[in-house]
Structure 1
Amino acid sequence: MFRTVLVANRGEIACRVIATLQRLGIRAVAVYTDADRDALHVARADSAVRIDSYLSIEAVVAAAQGADAIHPGYGFLSENADLARACEAAGVVFVGPGVKALEVMGDKIRAKEHVSAAGVPVIPGSSSIDAASADRVGYPLLVKPSAGGGGKGMTVVERAEDLADALVGARRVAAAAFGDDTLLLERLVRSPRHIEVQLLADGFEHVIHLGERECSLQRRHQKVIEEAPSPLLDEVTRQSIGEAACDVARSVGYVGAGTVEFLVSDEAPTEFFFMEMNTRLQVEHPVTELVTGLDLVEWQLRVAAGQPLTVRQSDVVLTGHAIEARVYAEDPLREFLPSAGTVHVLDEPTGEGIRVDSALQEGLEIGSTYDPMLAKVIAWAPDRATAIARLDAALARTTILGVRTNVEFLRQVLADPDVRAGRLDTGLLARLIPTLTLRTPEDAHVVAAALSRHDVGEGAWGSDGWRLGEPRPIRYEVGDVEVSVLGSTVTVGDGEPVTARLERRGPDAVVLELGGVVHPLRLVTHGPVTWVGDQGSAFELRFRTRVERLADELAALTRGTRPVDPQVRSPMPGTVVSVEVGTGDSVVAGQILLTIEAMKMEHRVVAPSDGIVTLTVRPTDQVALDHVVATITGHPDEGTPA
Structure 2
Amino acid sequence: MTMFDTVLVANRGEIAVRVIRTLRSLGVRSVAVFSDADAGARHVREADTAVRIGPAPAAESYLSADRLLDAAARTGAQAVHPGYGFLAENAGFAQACAEAGLVFIGPPASAISLMGDKIRAKETVRAAGVPVVPGSSGSGLTDEQLAEAARRIGMPVLLKPSAGGGGKGMRLTRVESALRDEIAAARREARASFGDDTLLVERWIDRPRHIEIQVLADGHGNVVHLGERECSLQRRHQKIIEEAPSVLLDEATRAAMGEAAVQAARSCGYRGAGTVEFIVPGTDPSQYYFMEMNTRLQVEHPVTELVTGLDLVEWQLRVAAGEPLPFGQEDIALTGHAVEARICAEDPSRGFLPSGGTVLRLHEPQGEGVRTDSGLSEGAEVGSLYDPMLSKVIAYGPDRATALRRLRAALAATVTLGVPTNAGFLRRLLAHPDVVSGEMDTGLVEREVDSLLPEGVPAEVYEAAAAVRAEALAPRGGGWTDPFSVPSGWRMGGAHAAPAFPLRVPGREPVVHAPAPSAAPRVSHDAVTVELHGVTHTFRRAGDWLGRDGDSWHVADHDPVAASLSGAGHAGADTLAAPMPGTVTVVKVAVGDTVAAGQSLLVVEAMKMEHVISAPHAGTVAELDVTAGSTVAMDQVLAVVVPEEHTEGSGGTAGTPAQEEK
Partner residue in 2 for 1:363:
379
Deviations 1:139-161 (A, max 9, x none): 43333333342222323233456
Q: Secondary structure at the match of 2:555?
A: strand
* Residues 568 and 640, structure 2, Cα contact 8 Å, conserved in 1: no
Please identify, of 587-596 and 251-260, the stretch whose mean Cα deviation from structure 2 is larger.
587-596
Count residues in correspondence: 618
Alignment of 1:514-593 (within 5 A): 517-525=535-543, 530-544=544-558, 548-552=559-563, 562=572, 566-581=574-589, 583-593=591-601
Q: Secondary structure at the match of 2:285?
A: coil
Q: Secondary structure at the match of 1:246?
A: helix
1:191 Cα deviation (Å)? 1.2
Partner residue in 2 for 1:49:
51
Alignment of 1:306-385 (within 5 A): 306-385=322-401
1:341 Cα deviation (Å)? 1.0
2:107 paired with 1:87: no
Distance 1:283 1:517, change over 3 A: same
2:196 paired with 1:187: no
Normalised to the residue count of structure 2, the TM-score between the two structures is 0.88
Partner residue in 2 for 1:594:
602
| Aligned counterpart for 1:64 among listed residues 72, 86, 91 | 72
Partner residue in 1 for 2:128:
118
Q: In 1, distance between residues paired with 2:605 and 2:427?
A: 28
Q: What is the one-letter code of the residue matched to 2:313? A: V
Q: In 1, distance between residues paired with 2:93 and 2:473?
A: 58
* Residues 379 and 388, structure 1, Cα contact 8 Å, conserved in 2: yes
Partner residue in 2 for 1:130:
143
1:571 Cα deviation (Å)? 1.5
| Aligned counterpart for 2:117 among listed residues 83, 107, 110 | 107
* Residues 585 and 613, structure 1, Cα contact 8 Å, conserved in 2: yes
Deviations 1:176-231 (A, max 9, x none): 65454544333322111110000000000000000000000000000010000111
Question: Identity over the aligned pairs, expressed in percent?
Answer: 56
Alignment of 1:431-580 (within 5 A): 431-438=447-454, 440-457=456-473, 473-479=498-504, 480-484=510-514, 490-491=515-516, 497-504=517-524, 507-513=525-531, 517-525=535-543, 530-544=544-558, 548-552=559-563, 562=572, 566-580=574-588
* Residues 616 and 629, structure 1, Cα contact 8 Å, conserved in 2: yes
| Aligned counterpart for 1:400 among listed residues 416, 425, 436 | 416
Deviations 1:239-281 (A, max 9, x none): 0000000001111111100000000111111011111000100
Deviations 1:296-323 (A, max 9, x none): 0000000000000012101100001110
Distance 1:165 1:56, change over 3 A: farther
Q: Secondary structure at the match of 1:261?
A: strand
* Residues 440 and 539, structure 1, Cα contact 8 Å, conserved in 2: no
Alignment of 1:80-229 (within 5 A): 80-126=90-136, 127=139, 128-138=141-151, 139-159=155-175, 162=178, 166=182, 170=186, 174=190, 177-178=193-194, 180-229=196-245
* Residues 488 and 498, structure 2, Cα contact 8 Å, conserved in 1: no
* Residues 499 and 515, structure 1, Cα contact 8 Å, conserved in 2: no
* Residues 129 and 184, structure 1, Cα contact 8 Å, conserved in 2: no
| Aligned counterpart for 1:389 among listed residues 389, 398, 405 | 405
1:174 Cα deviation (Å)? 4.5
Normalised to the residue count of structure 1, the TM-score between the two structures is 0.90
* Residues 468 and 523, structure 2, Cα contact 8 Å, conserved in 1: no
Q: In 2, distance between residues paired with 1:462 and 1:184?
A: 70
Please identify, of 587-596 and 510-519, the stretch whose mean Cα deviation from structure 2 is larger.
510-519
Q: In 2, distance between residues paired with 1:462 and 1:558?
A: 38
Q: In 1, distance between residues paired with 2:501 and 2:647?
A: 37
Partner residue in 1 for 2:86:
76
Deviations 1:353-381 (A, max 9, x none): 10101111111111110010111110111
Q: Secondary structure at the match of 1:125?
A: coil
Deviations 1:514-558 (A, max 9, x none): 565433220121xxxx111112221121112xxx22345688998
Distance 1:202 1:189, change over 3 A: same
Q: In 1, distance between residues paired with 2:344 and 2:105?
A: 27
1:465 Cα deviation (Å)? 13
* Residues 214 and 227, structure 1, Cα contact 8 Å, conserved in 2: yes
Q: In 2, distance between residues paired with 1:342 and 1:169?
A: 37
* Residues 448 and 502, structure 1, Cα contact 8 Å, conserved in 2: no
Distance 1:627 1:180, change over 3 A: farther
* Residues 521 and 528, structure 2, Cα contact 8 Å, conserved in 1: no
Q: In 1, distance between residues paired with 2:222 and 2:628?
A: 51
1:338 Cα deviation (Å)? 0.6
Please identify, of 182-191 and 237-246, the stretch whose mean Cα deviation from structure 2 is larger.
182-191
Q: What is the one-letter code of the residue matched to 1:13? A: I
Partner residue in 2 for 1:633:
642
Partner residue in 1 for 2:480:
none
Q: In 1, distance between residues paired with 2:523 and 2:630?
A: 46
1:502 Cα deviation (Å)? 1.3
1:351 Cα deviation (Å)? 1.8
Q: What is the one-letter code of the residue matched to 1:137? A: A
Q: What is the one-letter code of the residue matched to 2:636? A: H
1:467 Cα deviation (Å)? 7.7
Q: Secondary structure at the match of 2:520?
A: strand
* Residues 401 and 538, structure 1, Cα contact 8 Å, conserved in 2: yes
Q: What is the one-letter code of the residue matched to 2:131? A: P
2:616 paired with 1:608: yes
Q: Secondary structure at the match of 1:474?
A: coil
Gaps of 5+ in 2: 55-60, 476-483, 505-509, 650-662
* Residues 449 and 523, structure 1, Cα contact 8 Å, conserved in 2: no
Distance 1:55 1:512, change over 3 A: same
Partner residue in 1 for 2:481:
none
* Residues 147 and 180, structure 2, Cα contact 8 Å, conserved in 1: no
Partner residue in 2 for 1:494:
none
Q: In 1, distance between residues paired with 2:181 and 2:393?
A: 37
Gaps of 5+ in 1: 485-489, 492-496
